[in-house]
């Protein structure tokens, strides 16, 4: 199937979460972050105290599943980036979370590995942006020990919660 996967969540959200591209389940349902990775992300958001049903909008850099679930090419990203930028403009979030290196490199226009930038707030275009590990990475390295990817991601999301709900 080749379904267009636009987004899910509140279009009035203060928090936008951007992933790489739809996976098999996302392609099937037409919504981003609904497969195993999305369920893990929802769980992490809940644990961090973020109401993902009310305060989050989810989307991807690429709006269609790449063949064989491969990483999107630079050409595909460049073709679809204007659409993503328009989506950001329309949702107009205060905060953006970039899950994984593809989203991070696309929005921040950097070449750094995600391990160098994850967990840091970066201001760009009047918004505060943070890169975190992609939930699919956490599924491959599921240890919940301190300073392992799962724990670091939960701490990053708690940091986001602090800003999102600051009075």
Residue 1: inside a domain, yes or no?
no
pLDDT of residue 33: 96
Rounded CA separation 9/99 (Å): 16
The mean pLDDT of the chain is 95
Residue 55: inside a domain, yes or no?
yes
Is a pLDDT exceeding 80 seen at residue 109? yes
pLDDT tens for residues 72-93? 999 999 999 999 999 999 999 9
67: nearest Cα among 18, 1, 137: 1
Residue pair 8/31 in contact by the 8 Å Cβ criterion: yes
Give the chain's domain count: 1
Domain coverage including residue 22 = 8-164
Rounded CA separation 161/156 (Å): 9
Residue 66 CB-half CA count within 13 A: 15
Would you place residue 1 in the very low, low, confident or very high pLDDT band (cuts 50, 70, 90)? low
Whole-prediction pTM value? 0.96
Is a pLDDT exceeding 90 seen at residue 152? yes
State both tokens at 84. Answer: 């993503």
For residue 152, the domain's CATH number is 3.40.470.10
Indicate left, alpha or beta for 3 from its phi (over 0: left) and psi (-120 to 50: alpha).
beta
Residue pair 144/150 in contact by the 8 Å Cβ criterion: yes
Residue 3: inside a domain, yes or no?
no
Name the DSSP letter for residue 12. T
Residue 19: inside a domain, yes or no?
yes
pLDDT of residue 167: 62
Is a pLDDT exceeding 90 seen at residue 68? no
């Amino acid at each position: 199937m080749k379904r267009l996967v636009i987004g899910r969540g509140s279009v009035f959200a203060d928090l936008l979460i951007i992933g790489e591209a739809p996976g098999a389940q996302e392609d099937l349902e037409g919504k981003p972050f609904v497969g195993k990775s999305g369920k893990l992300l929802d769980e992490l958001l809940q644990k961090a105290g973020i109401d993902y049903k009310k305060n989050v909008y989810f989307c991807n850099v690429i709006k269609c599943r790449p063949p064989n679930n491969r990483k999107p090419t630079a050409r595909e990203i460049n073709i679809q980036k204007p659409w993503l930028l328009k989506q950001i403009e329309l949702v107009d979030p205060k905060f953006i979370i970039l899950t994984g290196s593809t989203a991070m490199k696309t929005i921040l226009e950097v070449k750094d590995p995600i391990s160098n930038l994850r967990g840091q707030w970066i201001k760009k275009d009047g918004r505060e942006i943070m890169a975190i590990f992609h939930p699919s990475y956490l599924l491959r390295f599921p240890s919940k020990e301190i300073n392992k990817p799962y724990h670091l991601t939960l701490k990053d999301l708690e940091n986001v919660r602090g800003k999102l709900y600051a009075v």
